[in-house]
Structure 1
Amino acid sequence: MKTSESRYCKCMYFSANALARKIEKLAVDSWKMIDLSPSHAYLLMAVISEPGIQPGGLADELQLTPSTITRLIEKLEEKKLVVRTTDGKLTNVYPTPKAKELQPKMKECSARFYENYAGILGREESYKLVESINKLADKL
């Protein structure tokens, strides 16, 4: 049975998750070159663009729970891509030189991901879809 013919095709939960699974596959394929999951890569790009960012800021920016952010940071620490510093109750996350060296490849992976989905959906449709999803997520 095709997805569009499914009895659940008008349910936002099933439709959103079907889309998420397909987008996840495209994203994972696009990020294989640097051996990072998309979540790790986007967190790392945020840390590179704002050295010293706090985990709460990462959680807000990436719309992930604090516990998920902690797990992602721990994995990036194991790979020697970020370091955390603590000053009292404040924790800051910084990129390592190794992470900064990855930045051009991360930009390439990000561009490849965009080209993959925009090539399927079209550039205008992709832009509109992302814009709509962001608006809907903000409302919910």
Structure 2
Amino acid sequence: MNLDDFFDNCLYFTVNKLSRSITKMAEESFAKTGLSPTHAFLMMLVIEKPGISQSELAEALHLKPSTITRFVDKLVEKGLIERKTEGKRSLNYPTEKGNEIVTDIKEGWKILFRSYSDILGEEEGKTLNSLINEAGKKLEK
């Protein structure tokens, strides 16, 4: 077996190769927002559900709470989110400035979808997404 075959037959390396490619596309798609793709997705959750908790964000984005805290801190610094404490819970709300970028974030999503759909094909992209989602759920168990 040559080295290329070895890596091409390893799910770990194949998924990471895909991740690097799609991350680059996502960063380009969300460039207009001034946010990383993950920050943009987090921002959408806060806009769609004002008062969302840190733990809900962590669960939705499949990230550790400490990572969510850092991401929210960054968005608070940018004036896009305000954090309110309710007992032990930290709730997140979009600011007026945060609500103003929702159109650019949604446009970033559309650009990203179109970018990979143009390469893979729309149905193939949806199928790949579904297969990866299902595999992820199985592997998380």
| TM-score, length of structure 1 as denominator length | 0.95
Name the aligned partner's letter for residue 100 of structure 1. N
Superimposed CA distance per residue, residues 77-113 of structure 1 (whole angstroms, 9 cap, x where no aligned partner): 0000001111110110001111111111111111001
State the match for 1:48 in structure 2: 47
Query: How do 1:1-140 residues align onto structure 2 when only pairs under 5 Å count?
Result: 5-140=4-139
Superimposed CA distance per residue, residues 12-54 of structure 1 (whole angstroms, 9 cap, x where no aligned partner): 1100000000000000000111110001000000100000000
Structure 1 moving runs of 4+ over 4 Å: none
Structure 1: gaps (5+ residues): none
Quick one: distance in 1 between partners of 2:99 and 2:74? 17
% identical aligned pairs: 43
Quick one: distance in 1 between partners of 2:92 and 2:5? 45
Structure 2: gaps (5+ residues): none
Superimposed CA distance per residue, residues 94-134 of structure 1 (whole angstroms, 9 cap, x where no aligned partner): 01111111111111111001100111000000100111111
Structural RMSD (CA): 1.1
For 2:92, what is the secondary structure of its paired residue?
strand
